[in-house]
Structure formats: C-alpha cells, structure tokens
Amino acid sequence: MRAVIQRVSNASVKVNEIITGQINTGFLVLLGISEDDTEDDVSWLSAKIAGMRIFSDENDQMNHSLEDVNGEILLISQFTLFAQTKKGNRPGFTRAAKPEKAIPLYELMSAKLEMLTGKKTQKGIFSADMKVSLLNDGPVTIIIDTKNRE
C-alpha cells in the first residue's frame, strides 16, 4: 500500500462537476492499493497518517499533527501509484489491486482514519474520473509504502 500525503491549505475533488469531498487545512492522501495488501497494511498506514507531525509549530518546526491544527483528510484512490515503468513508455498497472480487493481496503482505510481522527474522512469516488484541486502548503509531500516499514 502506498500513500502520497500532501499538506494542504485546502483541497477538493469533483466527479461530473459535483464536489464529492472538500477540506480546509489537512492532508490530501492519494492511496494506492496493491494485490498483496492486507488489513494489517491499512491499520499500520492509517495510524502513521493520523499521527504525522508535519504542520509548523510556533518555532516554524514540523511538530504539529492533524489533531493539533484541527485538520481534516481528503482520501483519493490512486491505482496509478503502482505503475510499472521499466519497459516502454506506456505504464502497466498489473500490481494494482482489482476493485473487488481494493474497494473494501479503501473503505476500511476511510473508517480507520475517521476513528483515529474523530472526523469524517472526505473522499472521492472509487474508479471515477476525478478532478482534484489543492493548495499544497509548503509544499510538503510525504510518500509512505507499507512494504518499507523498517
């Protein structure tokens, strides 16, 4: 499982010109799910995301978490995070989980983030053509892969 976490001042996602998720200060999380990901990956990654201290404190140091800044999360499914690009110029996506596996893990991630943050997780629509807008704050972008825990 891979997550690209962007610290944002605001972010939103539209499907067919309708906003399906919108936040102010918080994290835009692009989530890629692979065929070998499990509920254990969701548990580990959700705790990591919820606990990330990447907001500035009074000394301009990254010491504050979502909770400290009353932040929110916008979660977007992103199978292209598992693009294979070694051969040719057209990426392959065979490592990305099929919807029947990915959707339950995506929904579990959303639920776990809600439980950990105490706030509703804003979302896009799985496998839809989404238009994501954001104002990256910093910019701060963190990439986490559950296969690189150590």
In 1-150 the beta strands, taken as DSSP E runs, fall at 2-15, 18-23, 26-32, 53-56, 62-65, 72-77, 122-123, 130-145
* Catalytic residue ranges: 80
Per-residue pLDDT of the chain (150 residues; tens, 9 = 90+): 999 999 999 999 999 999 999 999 999 999 999 999 999 999 999 999 999 999 999 999 999 999 999 999 999 999 999 988 988 899 989 899 999 999 999 999 999 999 999 999 999 999 899 999 999 999 999 999 999 987
What is the value of pTM for the model shown? 0.95
Lookup: tokens for 97 = 């989980």
Cis link prior to 139 (omega < 30° from 0)?
A: yes
CA 75 to chain centre: 5
- CATH superfamily of the 2-148 domain: D-tyrosyl-tRNA(Tyr) deacylase (3.50.80.10)
